[in-house]
Amino acid sequence: MKKSIFIPIFLVFIFSCSPDEETSAPTNTIQTKTPEPETVAVQYTLTVSAGLGGSITGGGTFNEGKEVTVTAIPNEGYRFTGWEGNSSTNQSLTITINSNQTYKALFELITYTLTVTAGEGGTVSSEGGTYEGGTEVSVTANPTSGYQFLKWSNESQESTISLTVSQNLELEAIFIYEALSLTGRDKYKFYYNFGENLPQQWVNEFRLIMGNLNSTVHITTRDRVSLKDGKSGMNIFAWNSIEGLPFQSEIGNAGGTCICGNEFVRYKLLEMPNDEFIYEYIHRYSVIAYEYFHVYQINASIVEPPYLKYLMEGGAATFESLYLQQYYSFNYFTNDQKNTTDLATNSPAFFETFNDQGIEINYANSVFIFLTLVKELQKRGDTEIQAFKRVYIDWWKSGRNNVSKETLFLEVFGFSISDFYESIGSYSADINTVLPSESLRLQDIFTD
Q: Is residue 18 part of a domain?
A: no
Four-CA torsion 58, 59, 63, 65, nearest 10 degrees: 70
pLDDT above 60 (res 24):
no
Q: Is residue 37 part of a domain?
A: no
Average of per-residue pLDDT across 350-354: 95
CATH classification at residue 231? 3.40.30
Cβ neighbour number for residue 53 with a 10 Å cutoff? 20
Q: Is residue 82 part of a domain?
A: yes
Residues 118 and 209 in one domain: no
Residues 81 and 172 in one domain: no
pLDDT, averaged across the chain: 90
Residues 307 and 291 in one domain: no
Q: Is residue 90 part of a domain?
A: yes
Q: Which residues of 64-81 are buried (b: 16+ CB within 10 A; e: fewer)?
A: eeeebebbbebeeebebe
pLDDT band at residue 15 using 50, 70 and 90 as cut-offs: very low
Residues 148 and 75 in one domain: no
pLDDT above 60 (res 2):
no
Residues 325 and 363 in one domain: yes
Q: Domain ends where: 128, 145, 177?
A: 177
Residues 126 and 190 in one domain: no
In contact, 124 and 140? CB cutoff 8 Å: yes
Residues 142 and 197 in one domain: no
User: Residue 26: its pLDDT value, please?
Assistant: 52
Residues 105 and 168 in one domain: no
In contact, 272 and 240? CB cutoff 8 Å: yes
| Alpha carbon separation from 378 to 370, 385, 431, 448 (Å, rounded) | 13, 9, 17, 21
pLDDT above 90 covers a percentage of the chain that reads 76
Residue 443's H or E segment, with its range, is helix 442-445
Q: Which residues contact 42 (CB under 8 A, 6 or more apart)?
A: 63, 64
Residues 420 and 393 in one domain: yes
Residues 211 and 288 in one domain: yes
Residues 353 and 234 in one domain: no
Q: Is residue 22 part of a domain?
A: no
Coil, strand or helix: which one is 418? helix
Number of H helices and E strands in the chain, helices first, is 12, 19
pLDDT band at residue 27 using 50, 70 and 90 as cut-offs: low
Structural domain boundaries enclosing 286: 179-296
Q: Domain ends where: 234, 265, 296?
A: 296
Average of per-residue pLDDT across 183-211: 92
Q: Is residue 377 part of a domain?
A: yes
User: What would the pLDDT profile of 391-427 be if each residue is shown by its tens digit?
Assistant: 999 999 999 999 999 999 999 999 999 999 999 999 9
Q: Is residue 36 part of a domain?
A: no
User: Residue 225: its pLDDT value, please?
Assistant: 81
User: Residue 19: its pLDDT value, please?
Assistant: 44
Residues 93 and 121 in one domain: no
Q: In sequence order, what are the beta bridge partners of 170?
A: 115
User: What would the pLDDT profile of 226-282 be if each residue is shown by its tens digit?
Assistant: 778 899 999 999 999 999 999 998 899 999 999 998 878 899 999 999 999 999 999
Q: Domain ends where: 247, 281, 296?
A: 296
User: Residue 176: its pLDDT value, please?
Assistant: 75
pLDDT above 70 (res 77):
yes
pLDDT above 90 (res 52):
yes
Terminal-residue alpha carbon distance, the chain: 181
Q: Is residue 222 part of a domain?
A: yes
User: Residue 438: its pLDDT value, please?
Assistant: 97
pLDDT band at residue 150 using 50, 70 and 90 as cut-offs: confident
Burial label for 51, CB within 10 Å (0-12, 13-18, 19+), is middle
Q: Say how many domains are in the chain.
A: 4
| CA atoms of 273 and 257, how far apart (whole Å) | 10
| CA atoms of 81 and 137, how far apart (whole Å) | 27
pLDDT above 50 (res 10):
no
